[in-house]
Structure 1
Amino acid sequence: MKNVAFGQVLRLFLIAILSFGAGPSRATQAQGSSVIYYVDADATGDNDGSSWAHAYTNLQTALGVATSGDEIWVAAGTYKPTTGTDRTATFQLKNGVALYGGFAGTEISRDQRDWEANVTILSGDIGVEGNAGDNSYHVVTGSGTDATAVLDGFTVTGGNANVGDTVNTVGGGMYNLDGSPTLTNVTFSSNFAINNGGGMYNLSSSPTLTNVTFSGNSSSSLGGGMGNDGSSPMLTDATFNRNFAIQGGGMFNGSYSSPILTNVTFHGNAVPNNGGGMYNSNSNPTLTDVIFIGNTASGGSARYGGGMFNHNSNPTLTNVTFSSNSADDAGGGMYNFDGSNPTVTNSIFWGNIAPAGSQIYNDSSTPTVTYSLVQDGYAGSGNISDNPQFVRDPSPGADGTWGTADDDYGDLRLQPISPAIDAGDNTAVPADTADLDGDGNTDELIPFCLAGFPRFANVLSRADTGNGSAPIVDMGAYETAPYLTPNKNADEDTPYPGQRITYTLVINNSGLVSATNALISDTLPSGLTFAGPVMLYPPQPGAMLAQNAGDLPTLVSGLTITVGVCITLTFPVTVDSGLARGTVILNTAAVTSTEVVTPQTGMASITVSNTLPSFYAYLPLVFKNYVSAPDLAHESGMLPFQ
């Protein structure tokens, strides 16, 4: 009789498990009435987009059926706008539809994807493969879209906008007319436009781009990487690398464009004429925490502005570094022409090369430069001219040519002896419009430097020579500070109610100065009880360690975390016995120091596990090894009912 009962329970259990794993017969339902459509070039099955097994093989098919609120998940592979030869074929984005690439083809949640490992390519190489002459004019089009049109996790390549004087001469990789889509984790490479915007062209558009790369794109006129006319794109964490154009190798801004660039790098872009990194014509871009390295204006008839060329433009530059840019004629770092009056603050011009005005050259222009380091000097409040003491100067390598494989872009962080440390102007630091810290506050000052660490830090070994109350911002794109990276985890991710677990917090200082009087804190959330004490390795004399719950939220105080050293602390907590299965507990620790008062945080997540589902309540203890609670293995009799 017992064996029969046991068999029935086991059968029910297996049915429940199999039922739980069964998927829907049609496209997966997302939140609300939205749908997830699946695309995989190698899929077999029914090819109806309902699952990975039955995914569409053609991305255009999914775009055709998707409506507002839907998502399209695309597995690694190469996808083209058409299987035919129509060069006007393009992937037209749609409002409310989000395209996500970077899937392996097995994921059940979006956060499982690895878009860097699972390269998903949108290619314009239609027609004869390898023949660019018959490629699509625009691989992707975002015209008429708003921010709800999303492209995330793709490489866009092989666009060729090369015909006549029409729209088909701009935006080889992507073309936006009156469009403002949202792009994240996207790379534009090896696209071409005969007129403007080899990688991307924006006309009356304001797309938002985050973590994007423009590499190896070109134009036979303007804007090798990106071209903007009457547009205001917002770029955060972007890279322009080795793009080429006649003018504006990395970016061209014209017709009163006002792009906003935060945490952007321009490396090795080139032009034969003007503006190796950026060319601005009647435009007013805003640049914060940006670097220009190894951009060149060389070989043409007019060779000005290796880093930046301004024509009747008034850009605003804050914490921008120009180094090792060059121009054959004038303005190795920056060339200002025809009433260009940029505002430059907290910036560094060092090691740029040109026969005239190696750092900054002005022609009928009057820029305002303050609290900046300019080699050979520049008039203005707070300006200095001493060597900034970069960690490592950039170098074009053995071949002496920028834009080639042996380029070394250096390390433009400031050594602790740099005169640019704590020498900037706090009032010039702009608002966090890109919400870099994700706290929803876009009115606060930008919290991070280009390296992703606190923008405001106080280096005690340097006198404050800038403007404002300590901590005073450094000059340049990087802040010299202890770069403290907390990494927190629990020894059990799925504890049962009442179980004691141990948190481990490892803090690494990858900065250039030590953190002194560091304090590590942790306000335990509801559901966790401190079981102390804190253990620290390596031990430090004088450090104060929490012993009981009354010492919290301070775990450790009085620490010194030297450069290149990891410190590890552990502490036990007890999961409250009354917590329900599935309860997720997020626990965040924070570290501050005399140098950095902005907390650097590390978070761990645990999910409370039940010992067994309810239908296990009276199974014999032969199954006790399947129970997550180790102390139950020592009990006798029947398992407790859950």
Structure 2
Amino acid sequence: WPGQAKEIVLYCYLAPGLNGAFEAFFDNWVLLYPADEWQTAPELSPNTAVLYDAEVATANPTDPQPSCRFGGAGQGQETMWFRVPARSPTAAFQTCLSEADGSGRSMDTLIALYRKEPDGSLTEIACGEDECGPDFGYLSQVRIEGDSPDVLESFKEYYLQVSRYNVSAQPTAVLEPIGRTTYVKPSGSSSGGFKQGMSWLDAYQNLDEALAAVQINPDITQVHMASGLYVPDPDATGDDDLTFSVPSGLTVVGGYPQTGTAVEPTPLAYPTVLSGDNLENDGLFAVRPVGDPVHVDNARTVVTLESGPEGVVTTLSGLTIERGVARKSGDGPTTPAPAACLYSLNTSVALLDCTIQEGLHARSAAGAVLLTLDEARTDAYVMRRCQILRNHTAYTNSSPDSGGMVIYIDDFANFAARGSLLIEDTRFEDNTNGSSALYGGGLTVFASRDDQEFIIRRCVFENNSSGTFGGGGGMNFGVSQALNLMTAGPPIVIEDCDFLGNTADEGGGLFIRASSANMPPDYHVTGCRFRDNHAVVRGGALASTNYGYAFGSVTVHGSRFERNSGPRGPAVDWERDWVTSMIASPKVRFGSCSFVGNFDSAELGAAALELRSRRNDSEVDYLFENCTFAENTGASISLDDSLGPVDVLLVNSIVQGRGDGTTGYHFLHDVDTYFVAYRSIIEDLTGQFTQPDIFYTSCIDEDPAFVDPPDPGPDRDWGTADDHLGDISLGAGSFAIDSGVTPAVEVWPEYGGDLFGDQRVVDAVNYVGTGSGFPTPNQRIDIGAVEAPPGIAYVCDGDTNGDQSVDFTDLNIVLENWGGAGPDGDLDNDGAVNFNDLNIVLGQWGDPCPI
């Protein structure tokens, strides 16, 4: 069947004398194949016709009854099923081109399309009966149009049922999606020949010819391209305004071999390159001035996606788009093109397995990609498994811009544009903005929305940079709500992303800005890693600002901040501002996060986190729950009251070490601030008591016993070759195990995992623990970012030989090594075996380990 074996023939040869025994057995056989039941239906490939054959299909009494069947709802005869992928909101299928089999029986089919519901049932959303007219007998078609009440939705499953009307109808028919594919390969023929792109043997030579054919033939829904290099100006006319103009709703797929072999597209093996370098004279990529003579032939925009009906998706898959140079045109517009490689305006877009690289922009907008929505409509942007590499924007002083990619959903006037965004498994690397750039080096998102989802998941932002006034070397994110909208909609999710080695003035890795005075959106940053990012001004890893607007609630959970740098807030620099009557306290929450080896690049003693607030209220501004601070240079947190009072609560957290080897306060604050640390492990706790207005409740000064303590190395400088980030998991015997309290876990149950995503509240069976239980008294949360496994061993200091008991064996080891330097018998690791070690053994005498 489609995508599987074309045909299976079973020959059975029975030995003499066995025929009678097997006849009854074979009479009960039913040949089951995937298309016979909807639960096992094969996928109906795009633009691929399949054969319906009633003589090998069977009926199932439990199948749904198509509502449009002539004479009233009821089943057809011998149903077959196919799974329909929701590649766009619209779909159409027909049997109208079926041919008579010569039997004289009527051609009469029935088609119905169903949506699978969460409970596993099927709901009919379209039904076809006798639509094809008198010239085609009683054949049928179904259509889901853009204005249909039940358009196809991504991530939902759909199934197509085909049957004949009754047993008097012809048993065979051809089922096909309405629409067809045209083909392009470098060795094809130009339109001046006789080839018309109907197959690989009949392929066009240039993509622009295939796109022209689509304009006059709306039945073409896909363009398949073989590997090779394609340019917008293949005839070398010198017209830099030529672009690959892709009609709305079209799917362009690259990654096929030039042999035309029928295989699934494989972009890595068969790269399909759409290049703006019309003369192929750029050589190795370098960030040259846009006006460099070598760029005189380059297309101003390589690919342009045309506007289309709301919700209709244009798909690019398996393509490499590169080397556009968005500059002014001598004969055309006096301003630069909006984007160098890819530009879309007012259309839904899906980018799959694409690489967009080495674009240059003269002034503003995007070095690589600009997706813009500026009308009162709702569209979707989906991007999966793509790469945005080595793109550059020269400079700007106003417009949203990015060296890599810009997504702009806003109509400037009344926030009427709406859009959803999903980016998964995509890499943004080595993208740069010029010296006066404003926004993100890798990705910039500015959007208005109401209840649409914004999700960025499993992406990598590495070695991107933004300019002098820039924010978000890796990514800059600002989302507003519709005017007068009093519900925030779903949170903006940034999940399981890596921000590595990015640079900007503000927010070296990620910059989040508030951009609406209305009900502000929530942000959830979960499972991310921020490492080696740098800010010239503030927020080495993460920064925010509000520009007079408001934030919703912000949750940063299970994220690592490691070895980031900057002169202010080398890990995080945050400004809090929001509508207090609408947002529940606390406003910014860090849960199960680690802050390790973040350092002040100016060596002026900046704390790892700098926190401010613009709201004068009595609510908690910042909550740190189950976080670990280790070996950051200077203090861990600094509170700045220059914008207003700041209130902070630290719970179940570990604060250890100052990476520069100095001693001092872990928390710095101005006059108008309030800081409470509760049930946390604080190094040099007694030394902290001399600082006024910092309140410590049930805190302790114990070694957390990290599995591998982080260390900046002998030079005591982070950011050098001898750095050791270590492992801050809790080792056996750590006082932090089962010693925490659980106030926030009950409030935020959806964020119950630890730094590595493991279960947050796990009772260590070998530990008594000193914390409060949740949800039952014998289950206690650990202190710090990482929860120890339930079977972790208990370590007694007096158990010198590790036999899990303190007895005469341990006493004899101490006595035998008395007066020596250890390590045998030196239980307190002070370099001498003496009464201190003897007292440890006597104090734990008889204790079982574990207990």
- 1:229 is aligned to 408
Report the number of matched residues: 427
Q: Provide the rounded CA distance (Å) in 1 between the counterparts of 2:754 and 2:194.
A: 50
- Say which one has the larger Rg: 2
- 2:207 is aligned to 59
Instruction: Tell me if 1:81 matches 2:232.
Output: yes
Paired AA for residue 187 in structure 1: T
Identity %: 23
Which one of the candidate residues 181, 191, 206 is aligned to 2:380? 206
Cα distance change on mapping 1:195 and 1:468 into 2, 3 Å: farther
Deviation at 1:170, TM superposition (A): 2.0
Instruction: Tell me if 1:249 matches 2:417.
Output: no
Paired AA for residue 49 in structure 1: G
Q: Provide the rounded CA distance (Å) in 2 between the counterparts of 1:143 and 1:39.
A: 20
Which one of the candidate residues 315, 322, 329 is aligned to 2:530? 322
Q: Provide the rounded CA distance (Å) in 2 between the counterparts of 1:171 and 1:331.
A: 29
Instruction: Tell me if 1:310 matches 2:310.
Output: no
Q: Provide the rounded CA distance (Å) in 2 between the counterparts of 1:182 and 1:268.
A: 25
Unpaired runs of 5+ residues, structure 2, are 1-46, 51-175, 283-293, 374-378, 410-418, 482-491, 516-520, 579-586, 596-607, 612-621, 631-653, 655-705, 792-851
- 2:66 is aligned to none
TM-score (norm 1): 0.55
Paired AA for residue 294 in structure 1: G
Q: Provide the rounded CA distance (Å) in 1 between the counterparts of 2:567 and 2:503.
A: 13
Deviation at 1:317, TM superposition (A): 2.8
Paired AA for residue 178 in structure 1: N
TM-score (norm 2): 0.43
The residue matched to 2:210 in structure 1 has which SS?
helix
Cα distance change on mapping 1:514 and 1:163 into 2, 3 Å: farther
Contact 1:46 1:55 survives alignment (8 Å): no
The residue matched to 2:459 in structure 1 has which SS?
strand
Contact 1:147 1:182 survives alignment (8 Å): no
Deviation larger for 321-330 or 455-464: 455-464
Deviation at 1:256, TM superposition (A): 3.8
Per-residue CA deviation, residues 502-559 of structure 1 (Å, 9 max, x unaligned), is xxxxxxxxxxx999xxxxxxxxxxxxxxxxxxxxxxxxxxxxxxxxxxxxxxxxxxxx
Q: Provide the rounded CA distance (Å) in 1 between the counterparts of 2:745 and 2:462.
A: 27
Instruction: Tell me if 1:261 matches 2:456.
Output: yes
Q: Please list, as runs of the form range in 1=range in 2, the aligned pairs for 1:455-494 lying within 5 A after superposition.
A: none
Q: Provide the rounded CA distance (Å) in 2 between the counterparts of 1:238 and 1:48.
A: 36
- 1:279 is aligned to 476
Q: Provide the rounded CA distance (Å) in 1 between the counterparts of 2:780 and 2:221.
A: 46
Deviation at 1:154, TM superposition (A): 0.6
Paired AA for residue 227 in structure 1: V
Cα distance change on mapping 1:148 and 1:327 into 2, 3 Å: closer
Q: Larger relative contact order (C-alpha < 8 A, sep ≥ 6)?
A: 1
Q: Provide the rounded CA distance (Å) in 1 between the counterparts of 2:737 and 2:591.
A: 9
Instruction: Tell me if 1:352 matches 2:564.
Output: yes
Q: Provide the rounded CA distance (Å) in 1 between the counterparts of 2:737 and 2:564.
A: 17
Contact 1:318 1:428 survives alignment (8 Å): no
Q: Provide the rounded CA distance (Å) in 1 between the counterparts of 2:707 and 2:212.
A: 52
Instruction: Tell me if 1:172 matches 2:340.
Output: yes
The residue matched to 2:458 in structure 1 has which SS?
strand
Q: Provide the rounded CA distance (Å) in 2 between the counterparts of 1:207 and 1:456.
A: 33
Deviation at 1:228, TM superposition (A): 2.2
Contact 1:239 1:264 survives alignment (8 Å): yes
Contact 2:180 2:219 survives alignment (8 Å): no
Per-residue CA deviation, residues 383-438 of structure 1 (Å, 9 max, x unaligned), is 41245989999x9xxxx999xxx99xx999986869999999698698xxxxxxxx
Per-residue CA deviation, residues 347-385 of structure 1 (Å, 9 max, x unaligned), is 333321111111111346476123142525784152412
Instruction: Tell me if 1:186 matches 2:374.
Output: no
Paired AA for residue 555 in structure 2: V
Cα distance change on mapping 1:279 and 1:70 into 2, 3 Å: closer
Contact 1:78 1:121 survives alignment (8 Å): yes
- 2:61 is aligned to none
Cα distance change on mapping 1:401 and 1:350 into 2, 3 Å: closer
Q: Provide the rounded CA distance (Å) in 2 between the counterparts of 1:172 and 1:466.
A: 58
Contact 1:289 1:450 survives alignment (8 Å): no
Cα distance change on mapping 1:167 and 1:184 into 2, 3 Å: farther
Contact 1:147 1:208 survives alignment (8 Å): no
- 1:92 is aligned to 245
Deviation at 1:306, TM superposition (A): 0.7
Contact 1:336 1:365 survives alignment (8 Å): no
- 2:376 is aligned to none
What RMSD in Å do the two structures reach over aligned CA positions?
5.0
- 1:369 is aligned to 589
Deviation at 1:79, TM superposition (A): 0.9
Deviation at 1:52, TM superposition (A): 2.2
Instruction: Tell me if 1:159 matches 2:324.
Output: yes
- 1:509 is aligned to none
- 1:343 is aligned to 554
Deviation at 1:260, TM superposition (A): 2.6
- 2:366 is aligned to 197
Cα distance change on mapping 1:116 and 1:128 into 2, 3 Å: closer
Deviation at 1:458, TM superposition (A): 9.1
Q: Provide the rounded CA distance (Å) in 2 between the counterparts of 1:514 and 1:191.
A: 52
Cα distance change on mapping 1:163 and 1:428 into 2, 3 Å: farther
Paired AA for residue 334 in structure 1: L
Q: Please list, as runs of the form range in 1=range in 2, the aligned pairs for 1:500-579 lying within 5 A after superposition.
A: none
Q: Provide the rounded CA distance (Å) in 2 between the counterparts of 1:449 and 1:132.
A: 51
Deviation at 1:109, TM superposition (A): 4.2
Q: Provide the rounded CA distance (Å) in 2 between the counterparts of 1:40 and 1:480.
A: 56
Cα distance change on mapping 1:183 and 1:159 into 2, 3 Å: same
Deviation at 1:187, TM superposition (A): 0.8
- 2:188 is aligned to 43
